[in-house]
Structure 1
Amino acid sequence: MSLLPLKFDLSPIFPVKSIEIRPHVHIMVSSGKFAHTQQRWSEATAPIFELSYSRKGVIHGEVNHQLVELKLGYSSLGFIDHASAHSEYQSGEEILLYSIWVQPEAFNSFCRAVGDTSARGFQTFQKGAYHFCSLKTDLREEGILSRLDSCLEKSADRLNTLMLESHILELLSLHFERLLELERTDEGFKELSKTDIERLNLAREILLHRIESPPSLLELSRLIQMNDCKLKRSFKVYFGHTVYEFVREQRLEKAFTLLSRQSCNVSQSAFAVGYTNISHFSKAFKGKFGISPGALIRSS
């Protein structure tokens, strides 16, 4: 049995399950509610890759002074080397988090398994003590995650470990193909310097703080001191979606929160997140969440 190079605060929630899928590949499942708002600390004592999904709740954290957010509908990929992290959890918020850990030996083997004939491996993608990106999940990935949910809901004595392994490997296969494709192109991670990454994270923070009235691409490029063409290209590479897509997703997520808490009516929520056309807002909202804004209010 291989051991993970991780140190973290144990609790009844983190983790509730830790399963070795195969040597150097584990999944940890964390779920439940905290009785009080609290912070958790963790540390990686050796290089490791993490693929994470938040299935319930939004998790905010910081790894080596880099802000990280995990939320439904996105995967989080992290290349970690001797890094410390902390995250904060609100009282009463329900959390369901999947963390798939892959050590470099297995990572390099998976690169070869998905058809890469070059010498690419863990070191190719690692940028310093911590390198992170977030990618929007697609329909195929959501289908795998739904099957993984069902698999992990079963008790230990009824868990189909072969099925569990197949779901984990399928998710890893999708992301290894994406990583290698990015690396093969000029828009891959290799063109992003440490300064580029810092500027991209700054751009993201600016957009989050000005989500109701975001800066134009040209203004944003001036604020972070990056050429607008490079910003447009690099933002997509690093975060998995364009600046426009990021703003749109964040607006709709904020509107969902306002409506589900019944803080605003439909028009107030639309205006609060920067929409001026209620019809366009309602169409975009239903397209993302599968429910109209009005129906969400009535069901809350």
Structure 2
Amino acid sequence: MNGDFHQNFTRFFLTLGILKPQEKSKQPMTFQSAIKEGAIHRLMPRTGLEVIVSDYSFHQEHQMNISTVEPMVEIGFCLQGTREVHIANRQYEVKAGTCTLQLIEQVEASFLFKKEESYHMVGIGIPVSTFNHYMEKINGNNGASINFSTVLHGSCYRLFQEEINPLDMGMVKQLLEAIATNRMTNLELESMTLQLLKRTFQTFFPPPTNPVEFSQGDRAKLVQAQAIMIENMMTPPSLMELSRLVGLNDFKLKKGFKEMYGTTVFGYLREKRLEKAFYLLQNGTMNVMEVANAVGYSNPSHFAEVFKAKYGLTPRDFIRYRS
């Protein structure tokens, strides 16, 4: 798991239409195709650390397929555009305004880019060994229980996604400004990038509030539980099924999940369902019933009730307001 993960980015850029993806140039890379426009900055402040700033759009809908050659970890900040990716018969969406953490084995991936939609993203890639080292430092002496393999839990891909918090957004904007004006040294770029990595890892793998009662192994299983609920949003497992899937007893699952994420398992699921519903309604391609079904609500009245409780408007009022 310690090969040259930079090859994954090189393959992506070649498939995207950049004929000569430069690995150590401060000049932006541009496209060699009439169907897309924009540029990508590719920076490597040191070995084992890659920073990508992408800002491009397509003049027509575009799909591209790529296979990774080395396992890797990538955090991302999606500032504009919603990108779809299909991996192992699952569809994932990286949405605007979100911070993501991706754990990627050797996979076959299919990306879909929409016509005339601008994509503006910042990505930071690291090898698996660096991720595992961070987990040990963040989680103390027992941190080895949370590592690349335990988080993947037999899968080839995991996506974690949350809204970008204001502090991180400020750091990202500062990073973009410095790169655009070419006034940041490699040491400064490395320092800021490592700060963003650490903060993102702490967002998705928060330190334990009660380390005596919950071991690092338990926390790794709670992270798996969170991922399972998100991946099965339409048909989530029961608490008993979830307990069996991650190998935690019912008491530890409920108590540990609330301490780790600040809410119950199904309270967390409800929040994520409503966030996705908000995005789908805002996107305007589905009606209220379709959105309700897409996020796992079979009763449209109940869906309208919980949506209004969170956003202050019923889904239908939200659509009228948006229009």
Which of the residues 191, 194, 210 maps onto 1:169?
194
Query: Is 1:4 equivalent to 2:10 in the alignment?
Result: no
Distance (whole Å) between structure 1 residues aligned to residue 205 and residue 134 of structure 2: 12
Deviation track 1:9-32 (CA, whole Å, cap 9, x = no partner) reads 133369711111322111222222
Label 1:66 to 1:280 Cα distance change in 2 as closer, same or farther (>3 A): closer
Equivalenced residues, count? 265
C-alpha change, 1:199 and 1:278, in structure 2 (3 Å) is closer
Question: Which of 271, 275, 298 is residue 304 of structure 2 equivalent to?
Answer: 275
Q: Distance in 1 between matches of 2:173 and 2:266?
A: 24
Q: Distance in 2 between matches of 1:102 and 1:240?
A: 33
Q: Measure, in 1, the Cα distance between the counterparts of 2:319 and 2:99.
A: 29
The CA deviation string for residues 144-182 of structure 1, in whole angstroms up to 9 with x for no partner, is 223313422455562424443333212211233343747
CA displacement at 1:56 relative to structure 2: 0.6
CA RMSD of aligned residues (A): 4.4
2:63 alignment partner in structure 1? 39
Distance 2:79 2:122 in 1: 8
Length-normalised TM-score, structure 1: 0.67
Choose which of 60, 78, 95 in structure 2 pairs with 1:71: 95
Letter of the aligned partner of 2:304 in structure 1? Answer: Y
Partner of 1:91, secondary structure, is coil
Matched, 1:60 2:89: no
After superposition, give the CA deviation of every residue in 1:200-233 in whole Å (9 maximum; x if it has no partner). Answer: 46622458xxxxxxxxxxxx639x9657969978
Contact 1:148 1:164 in 2 (8 A): no
232-241 vs 167-176, which moves further: 232-241
Give the share of equivalent positions with the same residue, in percent.
Answer: 17
Aligned to 1:188: 219
- Structure 2: gaps spanning 5 or more residues: 18-30, 32-36, 209-213, 245-249, 289-299
Provide the secondary structure at the position in 1 that maps to 2:131. helix
Partner of 2:271, secondary structure, is helix
Alpha-carbon distance, 1:52 to partner: 2.1
Q: Distance in 2 between matches of 1:240 and 1:19?
A: 41
- Given the alignment, which residue of 280, 296, 300 partners 1:254? 280
Could you tell me the TM-score, scaled by structure 2's length? 0.63
Give the secondary-structure state (helix, strand or coil) at the position aligned to 1:18.
Answer: strand
Deviation, 1:91, is 0.5
One-letter code aligned to 2:276: Q
Q: Matched residue of 1:87: which SS? A: strand
CA distance change for structure 1 residues 98 and 198 in 2, over 3 Å: closer, same or farther?
closer
Distance 1:47 1:205 in 2: 29
Q: Does 1:116 align with 2:140?
A: yes
SS in 1 for 2:59: coil
Assess if the C-alpha contact under 8 Å between 2:175 and 2:192 holds in 1. no
